[in-house]
Structure 1
Protein backbone atom coordinates (compact mmCIF):
# COMPACT_ATOMS: atom_id res chain seq x y z
CA UNK A 1 0.00 0.00 0.00
CA UNK A 2 1.21 3.50 -0.84
CA UNK A 3 2.92 5.32 2.07
CA UNK A 4 0.49 8.20 1.48
CA UNK A 5 -2.34 6.10 2.90
CA UNK A 6 -0.31 4.25 5.55
CA UNK A 7 -0.47 7.20 7.97
CA UNK A 8 -4.20 7.85 7.50
CA UNK A 9 -6.79 6.76 10.05
CA UNK A 10 -10.43 6.64 8.96
CA UNK A 11 -13.24 7.54 11.35
CA UNK A 12 -16.76 6.46 10.40
CA UNK A 13 -19.64 8.24 12.15
CA UNK A 14 -22.39 5.74 12.94
CA UNK A 15 -23.91 6.85 16.24
CA UNK A 16 -27.04 8.66 15.04
CA UNK A 17 -30.58 7.59 15.86
CA UNK A 18 -31.98 7.99 12.37
CA UNK A 19 -35.45 8.95 13.61
CA UNK A 20 -36.63 9.78 10.07
CA UNK A 21 -36.20 6.11 9.07
CA UNK A 22 -39.29 5.43 11.26
CA UNK A 23 -37.83 2.10 12.35
CA UNK A 24 -36.67 0.41 15.56
CA UNK A 25 -33.49 -0.66 13.77
CA UNK A 26 -30.38 1.55 13.93
CA UNK A 27 -30.14 3.51 10.69
CA UNK A 28 -26.73 2.16 9.67
CA UNK A 29 -27.98 -1.43 10.04
CA UNK A 30 -30.71 -1.07 7.42
CA UNK A 31 -30.05 -3.37 4.49
CA UNK A 32 -28.72 -2.01 1.20
CA UNK A 33 -28.24 -4.57 -1.57
CA UNK A 34 -28.35 -7.40 0.94
CA UNK A 35 -25.83 -5.99 3.42
CA UNK A 36 -26.07 -3.53 6.32
CA UNK A 37 -25.54 0.02 5.07
CA UNK A 38 -22.54 0.54 7.36
CA UNK A 39 -20.68 -2.42 5.82
CA UNK A 40 -20.56 -0.71 2.42
CA UNK A 41 -18.66 2.17 4.06
CA UNK A 42 -16.42 -0.11 6.15
CA UNK A 43 -15.43 -2.21 3.14
CA UNK A 44 -14.58 0.93 1.18
CA UNK A 45 -12.47 2.25 4.07
CA UNK A 46 -10.54 -1.04 4.30
CA UNK A 47 -9.47 -0.60 0.66
CA UNK A 48 -7.95 2.81 1.43
CA UNK A 49 -6.02 2.80 4.68
CA UNK A 50 -3.26 0.65 6.09
CA UNK A 51 -4.04 1.92 9.59
CA UNK A 52 -6.99 1.54 11.88
CA UNK A 53 -10.61 2.26 11.14
CA UNK A 54 -12.56 3.71 14.06
CA UNK A 55 -16.34 3.51 14.11
CA UNK A 56 -18.18 5.91 16.40
CA UNK A 57 -21.22 4.11 17.77
CA UNK A 58 -24.07 5.30 19.99
CA UNK A 59 -27.60 4.29 19.14
CA UNK A 60 -27.89 0.49 19.53
CA UNK A 61 -24.12 0.48 20.03
CA UNK A 62 -23.75 -3.19 20.95
CA UNK A 63 -25.79 -4.38 17.98
CA UNK A 64 -23.82 -2.21 15.53
CA UNK A 65 -20.58 -3.43 17.10
CA UNK A 66 -21.68 -7.05 16.80
CA UNK A 67 -22.65 -6.73 13.12
CA UNK A 68 -19.49 -4.90 12.06
CA UNK A 69 -17.09 -7.03 14.15
CA UNK A 70 -18.38 -10.18 12.47
CA UNK A 71 -16.94 -9.00 9.14
CA UNK A 72 -14.18 -6.46 9.82
CA UNK A 73 -11.27 -5.79 12.16
CA UNK A 74 -12.00 -2.26 13.38
CA UNK A 75 -11.92 -0.18 16.56
CA UNK A 76 -14.97 1.37 18.20
CA UNK A 77 -15.53 4.61 20.10
CA UNK A 78 -18.71 5.22 22.08
CA UNK A 79 -20.66 8.48 21.84
CA UNK A 80 -22.90 8.17 24.90
CA UNK A 81 -24.98 11.27 24.12
CA UNK A 82 -25.88 12.50 20.65
CA UNK A 83 -24.30 15.95 20.77
CA UNK A 84 -23.45 16.35 17.09
CA UNK A 85 -20.81 15.32 14.56
CA UNK A 86 -18.01 17.35 16.14
CA UNK A 87 -18.62 15.67 19.48
CA UNK A 88 -18.72 12.26 17.75
CA UNK A 89 -15.25 12.75 16.24
CA UNK A 90 -13.97 13.98 19.60
CA UNK A 91 -15.08 10.65 21.11
CA UNK A 92 -12.82 8.85 18.61
CA UNK A 93 -9.64 10.84 19.34
CA UNK A 94 -8.37 8.56 22.15
CA UNK A 95 -8.33 5.67 19.66
CA UNK A 96 -5.98 7.41 17.18
CA UNK A 97 -2.55 5.80 16.90
CA UNK A 98 0.48 7.99 17.65
CA UNK A 99 1.89 7.75 14.12
CA UNK A 100 -1.31 8.93 12.45
CA UNK A 101 -0.69 12.07 10.34
CA UNK A 102 -4.09 12.61 8.73
CA UNK A 103 -7.66 11.61 9.55
CA UNK A 104 -10.42 10.94 7.03
CA UNK A 105 -13.96 11.29 8.36
CA UNK A 106 -16.77 9.38 6.66
CA UNK A 107 -20.48 9.00 7.40
CA UNK A 108 -21.99 5.59 8.00
CA UNK A 109 -25.12 6.65 6.11
CA UNK A 110 -23.30 7.66 2.89
CA UNK A 111 -22.75 4.17 1.47
CA UNK A 112 -21.89 4.80 -2.19
CA UNK A 113 -18.61 6.67 -1.61
CA UNK A 114 -15.83 5.04 -3.65
CA UNK A 115 -12.34 4.17 -2.44
CA UNK A 116 -10.88 6.04 -5.45
CA UNK A 117 -12.68 9.23 -4.38
CA UNK A 118 -11.30 8.94 -0.84
CA UNK A 119 -7.80 8.33 -2.21
CA UNK A 120 -8.11 11.41 -4.44
CA UNK A 121 -9.23 13.44 -1.42
CA UNK A 122 -6.17 12.32 0.57
CA UNK A 123 -3.81 13.00 -2.35
CA UNK A 124 -5.25 16.47 -2.85
CA UNK A 125 -5.02 17.18 0.89
CA UNK A 126 -1.37 16.08 1.13
CA UNK A 127 -0.17 17.56 -2.18
CA UNK A 128 -1.63 20.99 -1.35
CA UNK A 129 -0.39 20.77 2.25
CA UNK A 130 -3.89 21.56 3.51
CA UNK A 131 -4.86 21.47 7.15
CA UNK A 132 -8.48 20.72 6.25
CA UNK A 133 -9.85 19.42 2.95
CA UNK A 134 -13.60 19.16 2.43
CA UNK A 135 -15.13 16.89 -0.18
CA UNK A 136 -17.66 19.14 -1.90
CA UNK A 137 -20.26 18.56 -4.57
CA UNK A 138 -22.39 20.88 -6.73
CA UNK A 139 -26.12 20.16 -6.53
CA UNK A 140 -29.01 21.58 -8.53
CA UNK A 141 -31.15 21.35 -5.41
CA UNK A 142 -28.92 21.87 -2.36
CA UNK A 143 -31.78 21.89 0.17
CA UNK A 144 -30.87 20.13 3.42
CA UNK A 145 -27.12 20.23 2.88
CA UNK A 146 -24.50 22.45 4.50
CA UNK A 147 -23.37 25.16 2.06
CA UNK A 148 -19.69 25.85 1.42
CA UNK A 149 -19.36 29.63 1.71
CA UNK A 150 -16.37 31.13 -0.12
CA UNK A 151 -14.58 34.35 0.76
CA UNK A 152 -13.67 37.10 -1.73
CA UNK A 153 -10.38 35.44 -2.64
CA UNK A 154 -12.08 32.14 -3.49
CA UNK A 155 -11.06 30.36 -0.30
CA UNK A 156 -13.43 28.61 2.08
CA UNK A 157 -14.85 30.96 4.71
CA UNK A 158 -17.19 28.54 6.49
CA UNK A 159 -19.72 25.77 6.09
CA UNK A 160 -23.21 26.75 7.16
CA UNK A 161 -25.96 24.20 7.86
CA UNK A 162 -29.39 24.51 6.23
CA UNK A 163 -31.07 25.43 9.53
CA UNK A 164 -28.56 28.24 10.18
CA UNK A 165 -28.22 29.57 6.61
CA UNK A 166 -29.51 33.00 5.59
CA UNK A 167 -31.32 33.61 2.29
CA UNK A 168 -28.08 34.41 0.40
CA UNK A 169 -26.33 31.29 1.71
CA UNK A 170 -29.30 29.07 0.81
CA UNK A 171 -28.74 29.98 -2.87
CA UNK A 172 -25.23 28.48 -2.84
CA UNK A 173 -25.09 25.21 -4.82
CA UNK A 174 -21.72 23.91 -3.63
CA UNK A 175 -22.42 21.75 -0.62
CA UNK A 176 -20.54 19.80 1.99
CA UNK A 177 -20.62 16.03 1.56
CA UNK A 178 -19.78 15.46 5.23
CA UNK A 179 -16.51 13.82 4.20
CA UNK A 180 -13.20 15.40 5.23
CA UNK A 181 -9.47 14.88 5.43
CA UNK A 182 -7.86 16.74 8.33
CA UNK A 183 -4.34 16.95 9.71
CA UNK A 184 -4.37 15.04 12.97
CA UNK A 185 -2.68 17.81 15.01
CA UNK A 186 -5.12 20.45 13.80
CA UNK A 187 -8.11 18.15 14.31
CA UNK A 188 -7.28 17.83 18.00
CA UNK A 189 -6.84 21.60 18.40
CA UNK A 190 -9.99 22.53 16.50
CA UNK A 191 -12.29 20.03 18.23
CA UNK A 192 -11.35 21.46 21.62
CA UNK A 193 -12.62 24.87 20.46
CA UNK A 194 -15.99 23.89 18.99
CA UNK A 195 -19.12 25.25 20.66
CA UNK A 196 -22.79 24.30 20.41
CA UNK A 197 -24.07 27.84 19.81
CA UNK A 198 -26.46 27.01 16.95
CA UNK A 199 -30.17 26.32 16.52
CA UNK A 200 -29.71 22.58 16.96
CA UNK A 201 -27.59 23.05 20.12
CA UNK A 202 -25.09 20.56 18.69
CA UNK A 203 -21.33 20.57 18.16
CA UNK A 204 -20.92 20.67 14.38
CA UNK A 205 -17.82 19.17 12.78
CA UNK A 206 -18.29 21.70 9.98
CA UNK A 207 -17.21 24.47 12.36
CA UNK A 208 -13.58 23.28 12.18
CA UNK A 209 -13.43 25.30 8.94
CA UNK A 210 -14.14 28.51 10.83
CA UNK A 211 -11.56 27.55 13.47
CA UNK A 212 -9.05 26.90 10.67
CA UNK A 213 -9.64 30.39 9.31
CA UNK A 214 -9.16 31.89 12.77
CA UNK A 215 -5.78 30.15 12.95
CA UNK A 216 -4.93 31.11 9.33
CA UNK A 217 -4.73 27.45 8.38
CA UNK A 218 -4.97 26.16 4.82
CA UNK A 219 -8.41 24.90 3.78
CA UNK A 220 -9.18 23.18 0.50
CA UNK A 221 -12.22 21.80 -1.30
CA UNK A 222 -11.95 18.69 -3.44
CA UNK A 223 -14.85 18.31 -5.86
CA UNK A 224 -16.68 15.02 -6.19
CA UNK A 225 -17.94 14.70 -9.75
CA UNK A 226 -20.59 12.06 -9.07
CA UNK A 227 -23.20 13.38 -6.66
CA UNK A 228 -24.61 9.87 -6.17
CA UNK A 229 -21.46 8.96 -4.21
CA UNK A 230 -22.22 11.47 -1.48
CA UNK A 231 -25.97 10.96 -1.19
CA UNK A 232 -26.93 10.35 2.42
CA UNK A 233 -29.69 8.04 3.60
CA UNK A 234 -32.07 9.68 6.07
CA UNK A 235 -35.47 8.29 5.09
CA UNK A 236 -36.92 5.03 3.71
CA UNK A 237 -37.35 6.83 0.38
CA UNK A 238 -33.64 7.74 0.32
CA UNK A 239 -32.80 4.09 0.89
CA UNK A 240 -35.10 3.00 -1.92
CA UNK A 241 -33.64 5.61 -4.28
CA UNK A 242 -30.07 4.50 -3.63
CA UNK A 243 -30.98 0.81 -3.91
CA UNK A 244 -32.57 1.55 -7.29
CA UNK A 245 -29.48 3.46 -8.44
CA UNK A 246 -27.25 0.52 -7.46
CA UNK A 247 -29.40 -1.92 -9.42
CA UNK A 248 -29.29 0.31 -12.50
CA UNK A 249 -25.52 0.90 -12.40
Structure 2
Protein backbone atom coordinates (compact mmCIF):
# COMPACT_ATOMS: atom_id res chain seq x y z
CA UNK A 1 0.00 0.00 0.00
CA UNK A 2 1.38 3.42 -1.00
CA UNK A 3 1.14 5.46 2.21
CA UNK A 4 1.48 8.71 0.26
CA UNK A 5 -1.46 8.08 -2.05
CA UNK A 6 -3.89 6.14 0.15
CA UNK A 7 -7.53 7.21 0.25
CA UNK A 8 -9.13 6.57 3.63
CA UNK A 9 -12.80 7.18 4.39
CA UNK A 10 -13.83 8.44 7.83
CA UNK A 11 -17.51 7.71 8.45
CA UNK A 12 -19.15 9.72 11.22
CA UNK A 13 -21.41 7.31 13.12
CA UNK A 14 -21.25 8.36 16.79
CA UNK A 15 -24.56 10.21 17.11
CA UNK A 16 -27.69 9.16 18.95
CA UNK A 17 -30.31 10.51 16.55
CA UNK A 18 -32.93 11.59 19.09
CA UNK A 19 -35.41 12.69 16.43
CA UNK A 20 -35.61 9.15 15.04
CA UNK A 21 -37.55 8.19 18.20
CA UNK A 22 -35.62 4.93 18.44
CA UNK A 23 -33.25 3.42 20.99
CA UNK A 24 -31.00 2.39 18.12
CA UNK A 25 -28.08 4.55 17.03
CA UNK A 26 -29.25 6.55 14.02
CA UNK A 27 -26.88 4.78 11.62
CA UNK A 28 -28.42 1.42 12.64
CA UNK A 29 -31.90 2.43 11.47
CA UNK A 30 -32.97 0.25 8.54
CA UNK A 31 -33.64 1.52 5.02
CA UNK A 32 -34.72 -1.09 2.46
CA UNK A 33 -33.54 -4.02 4.61
CA UNK A 34 -30.08 -2.59 5.41
CA UNK A 35 -28.89 -0.26 8.19
CA UNK A 36 -28.03 3.25 6.96
CA UNK A 37 -24.35 2.67 7.75
CA UNK A 38 -24.22 -0.38 5.47
CA UNK A 39 -25.50 1.68 2.53
CA UNK A 40 -22.72 4.23 3.14
CA UNK A 41 -20.01 1.57 3.50
CA UNK A 42 -21.14 -0.21 0.32
CA UNK A 43 -21.03 2.98 -1.73
CA UNK A 44 -17.61 3.91 -0.35
CA UNK A 45 -16.25 0.44 -1.11
CA UNK A 46 -17.75 0.54 -4.62
CA UNK A 47 -15.85 3.79 -5.19
CA UNK A 48 -12.64 1.81 -4.66
CA UNK A 49 -11.87 3.15 -1.18
CA UNK A 50 -10.37 0.26 0.76
CA UNK A 51 -9.51 1.84 4.14
CA UNK A 52 -12.51 2.82 6.24
CA UNK A 53 -12.52 4.30 9.76
CA UNK A 54 -15.91 4.40 11.48
CA UNK A 55 -16.20 6.92 14.32
CA UNK A 56 -18.36 5.35 17.03
CA UNK A 57 -19.92 6.68 20.23
CA UNK A 58 -23.52 6.01 21.24
CA UNK A 59 -24.25 2.24 21.41
CA UNK A 60 -20.93 1.56 19.75
CA UNK A 61 -21.41 -2.20 20.15
CA UNK A 62 -24.32 -2.11 17.69
CA UNK A 63 -22.48 0.11 15.21
CA UNK A 64 -19.36 -2.05 15.39
CA UNK A 65 -21.39 -5.21 14.71
CA UNK A 66 -22.90 -3.61 11.59
CA UNK A 67 -19.59 -2.41 10.15
CA UNK A 68 -17.24 -5.27 10.95
CA UNK A 69 -18.57 -7.41 8.09
CA UNK A 70 -16.60 -5.13 5.74
CA UNK A 71 -12.91 -5.68 5.16
CA UNK A 72 -10.52 -2.84 5.94
CA UNK A 73 -12.74 -1.29 8.63
CA UNK A 74 -11.22 0.24 11.75
CA UNK A 75 -12.98 2.00 14.62
CA UNK A 76 -12.27 5.27 16.41
CA UNK A 77 -14.10 6.27 19.59
CA UNK A 78 -15.69 9.69 20.16
CA UNK A 79 -16.58 9.75 23.86
CA UNK A 80 -18.29 13.15 23.73
CA UNK A 81 -20.17 14.56 20.75
CA UNK A 82 -18.47 17.96 20.47
CA UNK A 83 -18.99 18.53 16.75
CA UNK A 84 -17.87 17.21 13.38
CA UNK A 85 -14.35 18.62 13.68
CA UNK A 86 -13.91 16.86 17.02
CA UNK A 87 -15.27 13.62 15.50
CA UNK A 88 -12.70 13.61 12.70
CA UNK A 89 -9.91 14.52 15.11
CA UNK A 90 -10.79 11.43 17.14
CA UNK A 91 -9.72 9.34 14.12
CA UNK A 92 -6.31 11.01 13.88
CA UNK A 93 -4.25 8.01 15.03
CA UNK A 94 -5.77 5.94 12.19
CA UNK A 95 -4.86 8.54 9.57
CA UNK A 96 -1.59 10.28 10.40
CA UNK A 97 0.62 7.43 9.11
CA UNK A 98 -1.00 7.93 5.68
CA UNK A 99 -0.15 11.20 3.95
CA UNK A 100 -2.69 10.66 1.19
CA UNK A 101 -6.35 11.65 1.08
CA UNK A 102 -9.21 11.51 3.56
CA UNK A 103 -12.87 11.28 2.60
CA UNK A 104 -15.26 12.34 5.36
CA UNK A 105 -18.80 10.95 5.03
CA UNK A 106 -21.88 10.92 7.24
CA UNK A 107 -23.20 7.55 8.36
CA UNK A 108 -26.77 8.87 8.06
CA UNK A 109 -26.48 9.92 4.38
CA UNK A 110 -27.08 6.60 2.59
CA UNK A 111 -27.93 7.93 -0.87
CA UNK A 112 -24.59 9.45 -1.91
CA UNK A 113 -23.48 7.17 -4.73
CA UNK A 114 -20.15 5.52 -5.43
CA UNK A 115 -19.97 7.64 -8.60
CA UNK A 116 -20.30 10.85 -6.58
CA UNK A 117 -17.54 9.77 -4.17
CA UNK A 118 -15.29 8.93 -7.14
CA UNK A 119 -15.98 12.25 -8.87
CA UNK A 120 -15.25 14.14 -5.65
CA UNK A 121 -11.85 12.45 -5.30
CA UNK A 122 -11.01 13.03 -8.97
CA UNK A 123 -11.86 16.75 -8.84
CA UNK A 124 -9.87 17.13 -5.62
CA UNK A 125 -6.75 15.48 -7.02
CA UNK A 126 -6.86 17.09 -10.47
CA UNK A 127 -7.16 20.62 -9.05
CA UNK A 128 -4.59 20.23 -6.30
CA UNK A 129 -7.05 21.26 -3.59
CA UNK A 130 -6.38 20.87 0.13
CA UNK A 131 -10.12 20.48 0.71
CA UNK A 132 -13.06 19.78 -1.58
CA UNK A 133 -16.62 19.79 -0.31
CA UNK A 134 -19.49 17.92 -1.97
CA UNK A 135 -22.35 20.40 -2.37
CA UNK A 136 -25.93 20.31 -3.63
CA UNK A 137 -28.31 22.90 -5.08
CA UNK A 138 -31.61 22.81 -3.18
CA UNK A 139 -34.97 24.49 -3.66
CA UNK A 140 -35.38 24.52 0.12
CA UNK A 141 -31.96 24.75 1.83
CA UNK A 142 -33.39 25.09 5.36
CA UNK A 143 -31.39 23.16 7.93
CA UNK A 144 -28.20 22.88 5.88
CA UNK A 145 -24.90 24.75 6.01
CA UNK A 146 -24.57 27.18 3.11
CA UNK A 147 -21.76 27.25 0.55
CA UNK A 148 -20.52 30.84 0.29
CA UNK A 149 -18.70 31.63 -2.95
CA UNK A 150 -16.84 34.69 -4.19
CA UNK A 151 -19.01 37.11 -6.17
CA UNK A 152 -15.99 37.73 -8.40
CA UNK A 153 -14.90 34.29 -9.55
CA UNK A 154 -17.24 31.79 -7.87
CA UNK A 155 -14.47 30.26 -5.77
CA UNK A 156 -15.33 28.71 -2.41
CA UNK A 157 -14.88 31.18 0.46
CA UNK A 158 -16.41 29.41 3.45
CA UNK A 159 -19.23 27.22 4.71
CA UNK A 160 -21.68 28.78 7.17
CA UNK A 161 -23.85 26.63 9.45
CA UNK A 162 -27.49 27.71 9.35
CA UNK A 163 -27.58 28.77 13.00
CA UNK A 164 -24.65 31.12 12.35
CA UNK A 165 -25.85 32.40 8.94
CA UNK A 166 -26.94 35.97 8.26
CA UNK A 167 -30.30 36.62 6.51
CA UNK A 168 -28.37 37.18 3.25
CA UNK A 169 -26.49 33.91 3.62
CA UNK A 170 -29.67 31.97 4.35
CA UNK A 171 -30.95 32.86 0.87
CA UNK A 172 -28.10 30.84 -0.71
CA UNK A 173 -29.43 27.60 -2.23
CA UNK A 174 -26.12 25.71 -2.52
CA UNK A 175 -25.59 23.61 0.60
CA UNK A 176 -22.99 21.44 2.26
CA UNK A 177 -23.76 17.70 2.11
CA UNK A 178 -21.34 16.92 4.95
CA UNK A 179 -19.11 14.97 2.57
CA UNK A 180 -15.54 16.09 1.86
CA UNK A 181 -12.18 15.12 0.43
CA UNK A 182 -9.05 16.41 2.17
CA UNK A 183 -5.31 16.11 1.88
CA UNK A 184 -4.69 14.17 5.09
CA UNK A 185 -1.63 16.13 6.26
CA UNK A 186 -3.34 19.48 5.68
CA UNK A 187 -6.54 18.33 7.40
CA UNK A 188 -4.97 17.59 10.77
CA UNK A 189 -2.84 20.74 10.69
CA UNK A 190 -6.04 22.78 10.27
CA UNK A 191 -8.13 20.78 12.76
CA UNK A 192 -5.71 21.73 15.54
CA UNK A 193 -6.60 25.39 14.88
CA UNK A 194 -10.40 25.33 15.00
CA UNK A 195 -12.34 26.68 17.98
CA UNK A 196 -15.94 26.47 19.20
CA UNK A 197 -16.94 30.14 19.15
CA UNK A 198 -20.29 29.59 17.43
CA UNK A 199 -24.01 29.20 18.19
CA UNK A 200 -23.65 25.47 18.88
CA UNK A 201 -20.41 25.71 20.91
CA UNK A 202 -19.12 22.86 18.76
CA UNK A 203 -15.94 22.25 16.79
CA UNK A 204 -17.11 22.52 13.18
CA UNK A 205 -15.24 20.60 10.50
CA UNK A 206 -16.42 23.30 8.08
CA UNK A 207 -14.11 25.84 9.77
CA UNK A 208 -11.08 24.20 8.15
CA UNK A 209 -12.13 25.82 4.84
CA UNK A 210 -11.52 29.31 6.25
CA UNK A 211 -8.25 28.15 7.80
CA UNK A 212 -7.01 26.72 4.49
CA UNK A 213 -7.85 29.96 2.70
CA UNK A 214 -6.01 31.99 5.35
CA UNK A 215 -2.96 29.77 4.76
CA UNK A 216 -3.15 30.34 1.00
CA UNK A 217 -4.19 26.77 0.22
CA UNK A 218 -6.64 25.88 -2.55
CA UNK A 219 -10.17 24.75 -1.70
CA UNK A 220 -13.09 23.83 -3.94
CA UNK A 221 -16.58 22.42 -4.19
CA UNK A 222 -18.07 19.67 -6.35
CA UNK A 223 -21.82 20.04 -6.93
CA UNK A 224 -23.84 16.82 -6.97
CA UNK A 225 -25.38 15.99 -10.35
CA UNK A 226 -28.41 14.59 -8.47
CA UNK A 227 -29.25 16.76 -5.45
CA UNK A 228 -31.53 14.03 -4.04
CA UNK A 229 -28.41 12.06 -3.09
CA UNK A 230 -27.73 14.63 -0.37
CA UNK A 231 -30.89 13.64 1.51
CA UNK A 232 -29.88 12.82 5.08
CA UNK A 233 -31.88 10.83 7.63
CA UNK A 234 -32.78 12.77 10.76
CA UNK A 235 -36.40 11.74 11.35
CA UNK A 236 -38.92 9.01 10.46
CA UNK A 237 -40.25 11.34 7.73
CA UNK A 238 -36.77 11.60 6.21
CA UNK A 239 -36.51 7.80 6.23
CA UNK A 240 -39.87 7.45 4.45
CA UNK A 241 -38.84 10.01 1.84
CA UNK A 242 -35.54 8.21 1.17
CA UNK A 243 -37.47 4.98 0.60
CA UNK A 244 -39.72 6.83 -1.86
CA UNK A 245 -36.70 8.12 -3.79
CA UNK A 246 -35.29 4.59 -4.04
CA UNK A 247 -38.62 2.95 -4.95
CA UNK A 248 -39.24 5.51 -7.71
CA UNK A 249 -35.73 5.03 -9.10
CA UNK A 250 -34.80 8.66 -8.41
CA UNK A 251 -31.60 7.54 -6.67
CA UNK A 252 -29.60 4.34 -6.74
CA UNK A 253 -28.35 2.49 -3.67
TM-score interval for Structure 1 and Structure 2 normalised by the shorter chain: over 0.9
| 1:147 paired residue number | 146
Offset at 1:48?
A: 2.3
Which secondary structure does the structure 1 equivalent of 2:144 belong to?
A: coil
| 1:61 paired residue number | 60
Cα distance between partner residues in 2 of 1:72 and 1:178:
24
Which of the pair is proportionally richer in helix? 1
After TM superposition, the structure 1 stretch with the greater mean CA deviation from structure 2, 172-181 or 148-157, is: 148-157
The alignment status of 1:229 with 2:229, answered yes or no, reads: yes
The alignment status of 1:176 with 2:171, answered yes or no, reads: no
Which secondary structure does the structure 2 equivalent of 1:122 belong to?
A: helix
Cα deviation, 1:17-59, whole Å, max 9, x if unaligned, reads: 1111111111000000001110000111112245410000111
Q: Which ranges of structure 2 fall in alignment gaps of 5 or more residues?
A: none
Cα deviation, 1:44-85, whole Å, max 9, x if unaligned, reads: 111224541000011111111012213544100000000000
Spell out structure 1 runs of 4+ moving beyond 6 A.
Answer: none
Which secondary structure does the structure 1 equivalent of 2:175 belong to?
A: strand
Cα distance between partner residues in 1 of 2:84 and 2:213:
19
Cα distance between partner residues in 2 of 1:196 and 1:151:
25
Offset at 1:99?
A: 3.5
Q: Which ranges of structure 1 fall in alignment gaps of 5 or more residues?
A: none
Counterpart mapping for 1:98-113 below 5 A: 98-113=97-112
The alignment status of 1:42 with 2:41, answered yes or no, reads: yes
| 2:204 paired residue number | 204
After TM superposition, the structure 1 stretch with the greater mean CA deviation from structure 2, 177-186 or 67-76, is: 67-76
Query: What do you get for the CA RMSD once the two structures are aligned?
Result: 1.5
Cα distance between partner residues in 2 of 1:88 and 1:248:
34
* TM-score relative to the length of structure 1: 0.95
Counterpart mapping for 1:1-249 below 5 A: 7-96=6-95, 98-153=97-152, 154-249=154-249
* TM-score relative to the length of structure 2: 0.93
Which secondary structure does the structure 1 equivalent of 2:232 belong to?
A: coil
